[in-house]
Amino acid sequence: MLEELFIKNYALADQLTVEFQEGFNILSGETGSGKSVIIGALGLVLGEKGDVSAIRTGASETEVSAVINVEGNAEALKWLEEHEISADEGRVIIRRIMKNTGRGSMFIQSVPSVKADVSEFTSLLFDIHGQHEHQSLLSTDNHRKLLDSFAGLRPSAERLKSDFLELNNIKKEYQGLMSDEREMLREADLAAFAVKEIEDAALKPGEIEELETEHKLLTQSEKLFILFEELHRALSESSGGALDGLRSGMENLKELSGIDSAFAEASSRLENAFYETEDVLDGIERYKVNFDFSPERLAACEERLSELLKLRKKYGDSVEDILTFQEESRKKVSSIENREELKAEYAEKIAALEKSVLQQASDLSAKRKSAARKLQTAIQQQLKALGMPKAEFRVQVEAKLGENGRPSCGINGFDAIEFLISPNQGEPPKRLRSIASGGEISRVMLAIKSVLASIDTVDTLVFDEIDAGIGGEIAVAVGEHMYRLSRFKQILCITHLASIAVRADNHIRVCKKTARDRTFTEIDNVAGDERKIEIARMLSGDTDTDVSLKHAEELLVKAAGEREGS
């Protein structure tokens, strides 16, 4: 629901804030006062094409923003969620700036948005009926949705759509399975070779790293033995090495500590050093004794390491990676070897789903055709009440044809659905888009919306020019229809007819003023005596005579009584 519209530097609007309410909102005023300026600004912020000529003279840019309550509109809330935009306490602000250079910007909340996204989002919230782009009922895709909703077929249509998409996905997988069989067999051979080569290698986790360490020791064995000998000479006790000196020093310190206890700690430390050095020498001797060097072992190590490094180069950076590649290759071999079985499974799934989809589409089509006749009749009756007794409305349900000229089942079934209208007797029904008169198309839309009010998800309907060419009883009927519809939807309507305006829940008067040699539009929400004066003006153009004021009061009282009675 539209709660507020802010307009700055747009046509005659210098700076306006228009507040709207639930139910029936009327905009009235003299011709040229700026009523259509408000609707044009609303269309601009909803994503219609902008024209820089609409920017107020002397201004470099125009700005329009709308505060919209989206609570309860599941489709709009879903759209916001998909685009990661959050409503603030159920409200969304859309803002558009258009510069005289032709550039501009649009925002949903504070998120920069492109015109296509804004149009897509607001089409879930608004219909503007008149000579405007923003009319959901001009989209044939919406005709199908509305017919399905009218007939209670939306769940069936969604189930068909889901199964159709699943069928397409399975067919793609099957086609992938069938394509380039020679290449698949070649891949199977390569995968099988890799599995066998890795199996024959009998890999052990960490083996490459262990072999690389061993190879480094084996190739430097001569240097190791030289270092062993030098260490032995430097540390051993028998050849005047470190242990010999440490033992002599240890004995001297023991003797000194017997004379003076101050040397006790030093004696203990030197003794520890002696035994630590002795332990180091013993470890080196053990390593030397156990070190297994032979040309044969070096050759075996190099051969094994060469084998594993080839595998690492081909299949992975570590033994673990190579084993992972082996398992994946084994699965690939199994998958390709079981290809015939898979083909049979896919073919069975496809056949079953195709049968189900075609049956669902056939059932849906039959129900749509039956519902189309009922919807036609209901809308035809509404058009008659709205002063179009000769109009013929048709809900056309035809089979979609494929490239071969035969009926084709698509994601929405067999049917191409479109609403057609012949406003005048003797003329063939045409697409809604082809209706020339803004007044006629608005009444057609009012008739359709009246029938579909409880199922149509669009919250706000805007009617511009709906009273073009009508009066008397027809105007009264249009007013009644719009009021009844406003119990389900928010209605915004520009009208020159008092018989429509008296039914409003919120009456907005639009005036044109002049100040400082500039013309600008003003608005105010009228009630009480002010509203009676405005209705009198709409009746006769005269707000001063008792007759017009009395007539206006009578109409307002009558409309109020009918509202209470309903």
Q: pLDDT for 148-159, tens place per residue?
A: 989 999 899 999
CA pair distance 39, 510, nearest whole angstrom? 12
Residue 538 · residue 496 · CB < 8 Å? yes
Q: Which domains does the chain have, with CATH numbers?
A: 1-125+458-526 (3.40.50.300), 207-317 (no CATH), 532-566 (no CATH)
Decide if pLDDT at 197 tops 80. yes
Q: Are strands 111-113 and 126-129 parallel, antiparallel or unpaired?
A: unpaired
Strand order across the 61-69 sheet: 13-19, 2-10, 61-69, 91-99, 104-108, 111-113
Residues 442-465: what's their mean pLDDT?
Answer: 83
User: Which of 45-59, 91-105, 130-144 holds the top average pLDDT?
Assistant: 91-105
Residue 205 · residue 320 · CB < 8 Å? yes
> C-alpha angle with apex 20: 92 to 76, nearest 5 degrees?
30
Mean pLDDT score of the chain: 84
CA pair distance 482, 465, nearest whole angstrom? 13
Residue 72 · residue 125 · CB < 8 Å? no
Higher pLDDT, 534 or 244: 534
pLDDT at position 220: 65
pLDDT by residue (tens digit) across 540-557? 776 667 788 888 888 888
CA pair distance 279, 276, nearest whole angstrom? 5
pLDDT at position 106: 95
Decide if pLDDT at 394 tops 60. yes
pLDDT at position 465: 67
Name the least confident of 75-89, 120-134, 310-324: 120-134
pLDDT at position 295: 67
At 240, the pLDDT band (50, 70, 90 cuts) reads low
Report the candidate in 367, 362, 372 with the shortest Cα–Cα distance to residue 408. 362
CA pair distance 443, 445, nearest whole angstrom? 5
Decide if pLDDT at 350 tops 90. yes
Decide if pLDDT at 424 tops 50. yes
Number of DSSP helices (H) and strands (E) in the chain, helices first: 18, 15
pLDDT at position 566: 60
pLDDT by residue (tens digit) across 311-331? 888 888 888 888 888 888 888
pLDDT by residue (tens digit) across 488-536? 899 999 988 898 999 999 999 999 888 878 888 899 999 999 999 999 9
Q: Taken in order 369, 375, 379, 382, is the CA torsion positive or negative?
A: positive
Residue 91 · residue 68 · CB < 8 Å? yes
Q: Which residue has the tokens 């206006």?
A: 552
Tally of CA atoms within 13 A in the half-sphere of 447 that contains its CB: 29
User: Which of 297-311, 391-405, 458-472 holds the top average pLDDT?
Assistant: 391-405
Tokens of 349: 């799934």
pLDDT at position 130: 59
pLDDT at position 122: 92
Residue 505 · residue 21 · CB < 8 Å? yes
Residues 160-179: what's their mean pLDDT?
Answer: 89
pLDDT at position 403: 79
Tokens of 467: 């009273």
- Provide long-range contacts, Cβ within 8 A and 24+ apart, for 209-214: 211/301, 211/304, 211/305, 211/308, 212/305, 214/301
At 132, the pLDDT band (50, 70, 90 cuts) reads very low
CA pair distance 380, 382, nearest whole angstrom? 5
Report the candidate in 65, 68, 104 with the shortest Cα–Cα distance to residue 88. 68
Report the candidate in 8, 16, 106 with the shortest Cα–Cα distance to residue 60. 8
Q: Are strands 430-431 and 2-10 parallel, antiparallel or unpaired?
A: unpaired
- Kindly report the length of the chain: 566
pLDDT by residue (tens digit) across 287-314? 776 666 666 766 777 778 778 788 888 8
Q: In angstroms, how far is CA 76 from the centroid of its own chain?
A: 11
Decide if pLDDT at 185 tops 80. no
> How many other β-carbons are positioned within 10 Å of the β-carbon of residue 91?
15
CA pair distance 273, 80, nearest whole angstrom? 78
Residues 229-245: what's their mean pLDDT?
Answer: 72
Residue 229 · residue 288 · CB < 8 Å? no
Tally of CA atoms within 13 A in the half-sphere of 77 that contains its CB: 12
pLDDT at position 367: 96
